[in-house]
């Protein structure tokens, strides 16, 4: 297939993926918007004033970047894991496997779908955040880079989860027992400076901490970690997961007999 | 339905499909394929027959890159599947045994997306989708979700999808399973038509009448080995005897002894007779008439290919 054909194949997968999550918007866009509105209401509006300032900002302002990032992470992951596993389970993934599409195009198409949903939900949640507080973008390029890299990273993670999954339970185990704890302990609701030294060090092993803080730096100009280091960590994870996902697709792990 | 005569064509010198020493051992140790060789000439209509679990779907799975082979080579129009999988895949259209399209997509979207996976631009894909949906009687259903189609229409949709990139070879794994007679016959006409226009077809089926009506050549696979690979004509010529069922005009208490013919009463009005190629049917009728036995109607006991198929598989079991 020539480069034009590859581009058409990529756009086809992307179009199918975006069409899928838009078609079921009540399941994909609305629930995160509702739950984030509740977070802003309860933690920001009701409890926040009693907590006071954090890092020089109101608590509502402080948690807003973390909640936006949390919705991007969850939705980028959920989109790819459910779509890829669904295609595998219903066997229509075979439509792609019998076609002359290189694995990197399949990967790019699915990741593109995950990024699109992550961005769509991120924008909706940002809109909700603006109903509760003021947000000003301090470092536009950092915001763009962190959002894109994070949504790519968790789309890749979702794809790897779907490749290994054999039953529907397998696609909910990682989000429940790995992703959620990492996000909640990744500095969404607090600054790690509040923790004892030992737990600060433990927190630094959590990759989500770097994403949340880099995004918070982009919006508020404050961060618990060095932003350059954060971008490097996220990029390193993206490179490693891309290589691993391609290896799995090349081997046909979980998708070929 | 008339099987067209194969036309000589210089471009047909190359084999559409060439399989050498193909082996597959599954992770549980089961040897599904034990080194099969198969050659399908360009433009052929080949029946790949075999009992359940013989290795047909595994073979097709390997050709379509969904199953990893343990050993051997597969080439499609001279293109080795290992060396240039993308080129080989672009020449193939696959209609698998199990339904494998998204149940929530419309028929039109399924075809347009499939074309997109082959790098075909949307405008061209829409034209082709319209053409094949019309040819297969699905145009009225183009905007319906595929899950709402009947079983027969779903099978047709799979054929339309496999053709949308206009492959040079179409492989169909039991395409008419569970399809009613009328729909099955219209699918036969369609397949014969595309074969006549140059598409090589490999068909697996359990309807041996289907294979006999459609296919020029035949390969029989059993226990992971090809036990017969020849032309349909020469295979059928091997059948030395035919068994007929005759319906008599009234009940007979006992049948007359007809010298040289083996008659067996199924019930008082039905008789089974086995005739060899050398025996004369007129003579049998004459002798029965002389004995005051009148025949009202007569039919084959079973399809000729079915008889041969069962004999070959049984003999392979004994071996």
A255, closest residue in chain B (CA to CA): B66
Using alpha carbons, select from B232, B246, B306, B242 the residue that is nearest to residue B278.
B242
Three-class DSSP labels, A85-123:
HHHHHCCCCHHHHCCCCCHHHHHHHHHHHHHHHHHHHHH
Is B37's pLDDT higher than 80? Answer: yes
- The answer as to whether A256 is a domain residue is no
Strand partners, B267: B270
* Tokens representing residue A192 in the block: 């790690």
Report yes or no: B268 and B251 within 8 Å, Cβ to Cβ. Answer: yes
Q: Which of residues 158-177 of B touch A (CB under 8 A)?
A: 161, 165
Judged by CB atoms closer than 8 Å, whether chains meet at A6 and B64 is answered as: no
Give tens-digit pLDDT for A130-168: 988 888 889 999 999 999 999 999 999 999 999 999 988
Contacts of B86 in chain A (CB under 8 A): 1, 100-102
pLDDT value for A21: 92
Is B304's pLDDT higher than 90? Answer: no
| pLDDT band at residue B214 under the 50/70/90 scheme | confident
Write out the residue limits of the CATH 3.40.50.300 domain(s) in chain B. 10-237
CA distance A184 to chain B (A): 35
pLDDT value for B319: 64
Report yes or no: A155 and A115 within 8 Å, Cβ to Cβ. Answer: yes
Task: Assign a CATH topology to domain B241-318.
Answer: Alpha-Beta Plaits (3.30.70)
Report yes or no: B40 and B17 within 8 Å, Cβ to Cβ. Answer: yes
Give tens-digit pLDDT for A121-137: 999 999 999 988 888 88
SS3 content of chain A, % helix, strand, coil (to 5): 80, 0, 20
- Please state the domain count of chain A: 1
H-helix or E-strand spanning residue B239? none
pLDDT value for B123: 94
Beta strands (DSSP E) in B179-304 are 200-204, 217-222, 225-231, 241-248, 262-267, 270-276, 295-300
Q: What is the DSSP string of A121-159?
A: HHHHHHHHHHHHS----S-HHHHHHHHHHHHHHHHHHHH
Give tens-digit pLDDT for B139-189: 999 999 999 998 888 988 999 999 999 999 999 988 887 777 778 888 888
* Tokens representing residue A44 in the block: 């920001």
In angstroms, the CA A68 to CA B27 distance is: 45
Is B312's pLDDT higher than 60? Answer: yes
Report yes or no: B191 and B214 within 8 Å, Cβ to Cβ. Answer: yes
Stronger pLDDT, A103 or B294, i.e. the higher one: A103
Q: Quote the percentage of chain B above a pLDDT of 90.
A: 39
The helix-helix angle for A3-23 and B107-117 (nearest 10°) equals 150
A253, closest residue in chain B (CA to CA): B68
In angstroms, the CA B90 to CA A100 distance is: 6
Give tens-digit pLDDT for A9-49: 999 999 999 999 999 999 999 999 999 999 888 887 888 88
Contacts of B117 in chain A (CB under 8 A): 9, 12-13, 95-96, 99, 101
pLDDT value for B231: 83
Inter-chain contacts counted by CB atoms under 8 A, chains A and B: 83
CA distance B220 to chain A (A): 24
pLDDT value for B318: 66
* Alpha-carbon torsion, ordered B78, B79, B83, B86, to 10 deg: -170
Q: B114 CB near a chain A CB, below 8 Å?
A: yes
Considering only CB atoms, B117 lies closest to which of A2, A99, A252, namely A99
Report yes or no: B98 and B173 within 8 Å, Cβ to Cβ. Answer: no
Is B3's pLDDT higher than 80? Answer: no
Beta strands (DSSP E) in chain B are 15-25, 31-41, 45-49, 71-76, 79-80, 92-95, 169-173, 200-204, 217-222, 225-231, 241-248, 262-267, 270-276, 295-300
Give tens-digit pLDDT for B49-58: 888 888 888 9
Is B8's pLDDT higher than 80? Answer: no
CA distance B43 to chain A (A): 22
Contacts of B26 in chain A (CB under 8 A): 257
Best B25, B85, B117 member to test A by mutation, with max A CBs in 10 Å, is: B117
Give the domain extent around A229. 3-251
The sign of the torsion formed by the CA atoms of B52, B54, B58, B62 equals negative
| pLDDT band at residue B10 under the 50/70/90 scheme | very low
Average of per-residue pLDDT values in chain B? 85
Is A6's pLDDT higher than 60? Answer: yes
CA distance A200 to chain B (A): 46
Considering only CB atoms, B96 lies closest to which of A87, A94, A101, namely A94
Is A108's pLDDT higher than 90? Answer: yes
A9, closest residue in chain B (CA to CA): B117
* Tokens representing residue A205 in the block: 């092993």
Residues of A with CB under 8 A from a CB of B: 1-2, 4-6, 8-9, 11-13, 15-16, 23, 87, 90-92, 94-102, 252, 256-257
A12, closest residue in chain B (CA to CA): B116
| pLDDT band at residue B1 under the 50/70/90 scheme | low
The tokens 């993670």 sit on which residue?
Answer: A157
Q: How far is CA B118 from CA A48, A95, A101, A179, B217, in A?
A: 54, 10, 7, 36, 30
Report yes or no: B60 and B96 within 8 Å, Cβ to Cβ. Answer: yes
In angstroms, the CA B319 to CA B313 distance is: 10
Judged by CB atoms closer than 8 Å, whether chains meet at B118 and A97 is answered as: no
Contacts of B161 in chain A (CB under 8 A): 95
Judged by CB atoms closer than 8 Å, whether chains meet at A90 and B121 is answered as: no
Question: How long is chain A?
Answer: 257
| pLDDT band at residue B9 under the 50/70/90 scheme | low
| pLDDT band at residue B5 under the 50/70/90 scheme | very low
Considering only CB atoms, A97 lies closest to which of B65, B102, B120, namely B65
Give tens-digit pLDDT for A179-219: 889 888 888 888 888 888 888 888 888 999 999 999 999 99
B162, closest residue in chain A (CA to CA): A95
Cβ count near B1 (within 10 Å): 8
- ipTM confidence: 0.86
Considering only CB atoms, B117 lies closest to which of A12, A91, A256, namely A12
The correct CATH number of B10-237 out of 3.30.1490.20, 3.20.20.140, 3.40.50.300, 3.30.1360.20 is 3.40.50.300
A3, closest residue in chain B (CA to CA): B119
Determine the average pLDDT of the residues in B79-84.
92
| Burial bucket for residue B252 (CB in 10 Å: 0-12, 13-18, 19+) | middle
Considering only CB atoms, A99 lies closest to which of B68, B102, B118, namely B118
Backbone φ and ψ for A32, nearest 5 degrees, come out as -65, -30
């Amino acid at each position: 297939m020539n480069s034009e054909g590859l581009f058409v194949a990529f756009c086809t997968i992307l179009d199918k993926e975006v069409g899928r999550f838009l078609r079921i918007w009540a399941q994909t866009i609305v629930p995160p918007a509702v739950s984030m509105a509740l977070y802003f209401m309860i933690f920001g509006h009701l409890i926040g004033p009693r907590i006071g300032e954090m890092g020089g900002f109101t608590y509502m302002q402080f948690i807003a970047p973390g909640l936006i990032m949390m919705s991007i992470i969850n939705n980028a992951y959920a989109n790819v894991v459910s779509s890829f596993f669904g295609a595998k389970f219903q066997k229509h993934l075979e439509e792609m496997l019998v076609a002359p599409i290189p694995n990197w195009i399949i990967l790019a198409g699915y990741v593109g779908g995950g990024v699109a949903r992550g961005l769509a939900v991120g924008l909706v949640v940002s809109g909700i955040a603006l109903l509760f507080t003021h947000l000003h973008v301090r470092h536009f390029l950092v915001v763009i880079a962190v959002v894109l890299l994070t949504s790519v990273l968790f789309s890749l993670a979702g794809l790897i989860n779907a490749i290994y999954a054999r039953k529907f339970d397998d696609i909910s185990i990682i989000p429940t027992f790995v992703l959620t704890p990492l996000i909640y302990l990744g500095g969404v609701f607090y600054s790690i400076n509040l923790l004892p030294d030992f737990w600060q060090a433990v927190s630094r092993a959590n990759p989500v901490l770097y994403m949340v803080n880099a995004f918070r730096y982009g919006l508020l100009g404050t961060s618990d970690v060095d932003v350059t280091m954060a971008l490097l960590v996220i990029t390193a994870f993206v490179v490693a997961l891309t290589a691993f996902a391609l290896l799995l697709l090349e081997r046909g792990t979980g998708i070929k007999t | 339905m008339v099987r067209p005569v194969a036309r000589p064509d210089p471009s047909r010198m190359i084999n559409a499909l060439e399989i050498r020493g193909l082996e597959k051992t599954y992770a549980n140790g089961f040897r599904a394929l034990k080194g099969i060789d198969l050659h399908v000439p360009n433009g052929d209509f080949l029946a790949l027959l075999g009992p359940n679990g013989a290795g047909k779907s595994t073979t097709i799975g390997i050709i379509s890159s969904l199953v990893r082979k343990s050993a051997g080579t597969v080439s499609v129009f001279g293109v080795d599947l290992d060396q240039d999988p993308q080129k080989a895949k672009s020449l193939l259209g696959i209609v698998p045994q199990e339904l494998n399209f998204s149940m929530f997509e419309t028929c039109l979207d399924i075809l347009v997306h499939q074309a997109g996976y082959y790098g075909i631009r949307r405008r061209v894909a829409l034209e082709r989708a319209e053409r094949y949906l019309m040819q297969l009687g699905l145009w009225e259903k183009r905007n319906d979700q595929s899950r709402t189609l009947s079983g027969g229409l779903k099978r047709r949709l799979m054929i339309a999808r496999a053709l949308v990139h206009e492959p040079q070879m179409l492989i169909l794994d039991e395409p008419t399973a569970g399809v009613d007679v009328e729909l099955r016959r219209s699918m036969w006409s369609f397949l014969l038509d595309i074969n006549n226009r140059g598409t090589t077809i490999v068909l697996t089926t359990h309807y041996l009448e289907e294979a006999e009506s459609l296919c020029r050549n035949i390969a029989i696979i059993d226990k992971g080995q090809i036990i017969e690979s020849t032309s349909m004509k020469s295979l059928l010529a091997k059948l030395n005897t035919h068994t007929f069922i005759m319906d008599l005009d009234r009940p007979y208490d006992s049948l007359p002894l007809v010298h040289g013919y083996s008659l067996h009463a199924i019930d008082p009005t039905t008789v089974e007779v086995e005739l060899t190629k050398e025996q004369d049917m007129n003579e049998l009728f004459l002798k029965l008439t002389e004995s005051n036995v009148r025949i009202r109607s007569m039919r084959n006991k079973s399809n000729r290919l079915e008889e041969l198929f069962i004999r070959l598989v049984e003999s392979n079991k004994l071996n």
